[in-house]
Amino acid sequence: MEDDLVKHQGIISEISRENIKVSIIAQSACASCHAKGFCSAADMQEKIIDVKNPGNFDQKAGDFVTITMKKKLGNKAVLYGYFLPFILLMATLIGSLSYFEDEGLAGLASLAVLIPYYFALYLLKDKLKESFEFQIEKNTFTTNFNTAKL
C-alpha cells in the first residue's frame, strides 16, 4: 500500500475550515543533481497544494507535514493533461493534412483544436479537483527539506 503513494514534504501555510494549504517545493528530475549550478535545466519552484481539512486536524501554520496522493491519480493527470491532447492534436493533424493542401493551415487547425479541449478541462476543474484528493500526515522530522526557499 505504501508503494502506491506519491509523497511530498511541506509546510502548512494556511488552515481554513474547509481546506489546508500546504507549501511544497516541486523539483524537476535534475534539480537534485550535483551539477545543477552549471546547468540551466535545473528547476525548483514553490507550489501550494489544497488539502481537504479532515476536521480533526490539530496542526497549525508553520508545521511540517507530508502530503500523499495515490500514484494512479498522477497517471490520470498525465492522461488528461498530456496524452489525450497529444492524440487529439495528432489525429487532427493527420485528418486536416488530407483535407487542406497547405501544411501550415493543417498545423494551425491541429493546434486550434486544443483550445476547446483545454477550455473544457477548465470548466470541469472543480469536478476534476474532487477526484484528485490529497491526504495529509503529520511529520516529526524536517530532514531533506529546504525551508529557506519558502
- The pLDDT-based confidence of 148 (bands split at 50, 70, 90) is very low
DSSP assignment string, 14-80: EE-SSEEEEEEEEE-TTTT-TTGGG-TT--EEEEEEEEE--S-----TT-EEEEEEEHHHHHHHHII
Q: Is the pLDDT of residue 29 over 60?
A: no
Across the range 79-101, mean pLDDT stands at 92
Grid coordinates representing 55 are 476536521
Across the range 107-118, mean pLDDT stands at 93
Across the range 71-100, mean pLDDT stands at 89
SS3 content of the chain, % helix, strand, coil (to 5): 45, 25, 30
pLDDT, residue 31, reads 53
User: What pTM was computed for the model?
Assistant: 0.59
pLDDT, residue 78, reads 87
User: Domain residue spans in the chain?
Assistant: 2-149
- The pLDDT-based confidence of 144 (bands split at 50, 70, 90) is very low
CA 131 to chain CA mean position, Å: 13
CA 111, 109, 120, 125: dihedral to nearest 10 degrees?
A: 0
Closest CA to 60 of 145, 138, 148: 138
Across the range 42-67, mean pLDDT stands at 74
Strands (E), 81-134: none
pLDDT, residue 60, reads 76
Of 44-53, 79-88, 105-114, least confident by mean pLDDT is 44-53
Grid coordinates representing 60 are 497549525
- The pLDDT-based confidence of 146 (bands split at 50, 70, 90) is very low
Average pLDDT, the chain: 77
CA 86 to chain CA mean position, Å: 18
The CA distance from 71 to 58, in Å, is: 27
The CA distance from 144 to 9, in Å, is: 9
